[in-house]
Chains A and B, each alone.
Chain A
C-alpha cells in the first residue's frame, strides 16, 4: 500500500545547524506535502511540491522531489529552537479515479539552544 516513511525517526541538532529529513513512498504521486506539528500550534502545512517539480523553497525550507527514487527531502537551514517539532510528509495519489492521501510516520526534530 502507498505509505510515506520518514527517515530518520528522530533527529537532534544544535541551533544554527541544518536539519535534513527524508520521505520515501511507493507509488506514483500527484504531489507531496510537508507538515509540521508541535504542541503549541498543532499541524501546519509547510510546502507542497508537485510531481513535475524537482525543488521548492520557502524561507529557510528547501524541499526536493526525486520521482525516479520515489523520495523527497526537507532541509531546514540555520535551525532555531522554535523549529523543534515533528515533521510529516503526505503524498497525494490517484487510484481508480479517486484521490487518496497518506501521511508518513514523521520525524521528531529537536533543536538544542
Chain B
C-alpha cells in the first residue's frame, strides 16, 4: 500500500520567505509526527499530532514554526521568515499507535535549503 508521502522533495528559498511543507500520512494512522534532521545529525522532534487531541508542540524551535493537521489526515508544517539555520531535511512520520508512539513509518523527507 501507499506509504507516507511528502512534498515538495526539495525546496530552495530565500532568507525571510515563508515555506509550507506537506505530509500525507498512511491512511488510518492516527498519529503524525514532524522531525528535522541536519546534515549528519540525528532526528530532532518538532511536533506530534494524535487523533483529535491537542498537538504536542514542545519541539518547535521558535514561534516561526507552526503545523496543522486537517481532518485528521494531511499535515502542513509552515516556517515563517526562514533563516539559514532552518536548512535541513524535514521528515514526517505516521503510526497506528494510540497509546505511546509505537512503530513509526517515515516519509522520504523534504530537503529545505535557505539561501
Instruction: Check if A42 sits within 8 Å of B42, measured CB to CB.
Output: no
B91, A105: Cβ atoms under 8 Å? Answer: no
Contact with A along B35-69 (1 / 0, CB 8 A): 10000011111001000000010000000000000
B28 at the interface (CB under 8 A from A): no
Q: CB within 8 Å of B: which of A56-103? A: 88, 90, 92, 98-103
Q: A45 near B91 (CB under 8 angstroms)?
A: no
- Contact (A102, B103) CB under 8 Å given A42-B108, A42-B109, A43-B91: no
Q: B residues 68-115 with Cβ under 8 Å of A? A: 91, 93, 99-109
Interface residue tally for chain A (C-beta within 8 Å)? 20
Report how far A108 CA is from B12 CA in the complex, Å.
Answer: 27
Closest chain A residue, CB of each to CB of B109: A42
Interface residues on chain B, number (Cβ under 8 Å): 22
A103–B103 touching, CB < 8 Å: no
Bound form: Cα–Cα A43–B103 in Å: 12
Residues of B within 8 A of A44 (CB): 106
- Bound Cα distance from A48 to B97, whole angstroms: 13
B56 touching A98 by the CB < 8 A rule?
Answer: yes
Inter-chain contact B107/A103, CB cutoff 8 Å: no
CB distance from B115 to the nearest CB of A (A): 23
Contacts of B44 in A (CB 8 A): 103
Q: Is the CB of B100 within 8 A of A45?
A: no
In the complex formed, the residue of A with least CB distance to B33 is A101
Residue of A nearest to B104 (CB): A45
Cβ–Cβ contact A105 & B42, under 8 A: yes
Contact of A42 (CB < 8 Å), options: B45, B48, B103, B107: B107
B108 touches A103 (CB 8 A): no
Residue of B whose beta carbon sits closest to that of A5: B42
Residue from the list B42, B45, B93, B100 in contact with A104, Cβ < 8 A: B42
Within 8 A of B (CB), among A13-61: 30-31, 33, 42-45, 48
Q: 19 new A-B pairs (CB below 8 Å) besides A42-B109, A43-B93?
A: A31-B100, A42-B107, A42-B108, A43-B91, A44-B106, A45-B103, A45-B104, A48-B102, A88-B42, A98-B56, A99-B101, A100-B45, A101-B48, A102-B45, A103-B35, A103-B45, A105-B41, A106-B41, A106-B42
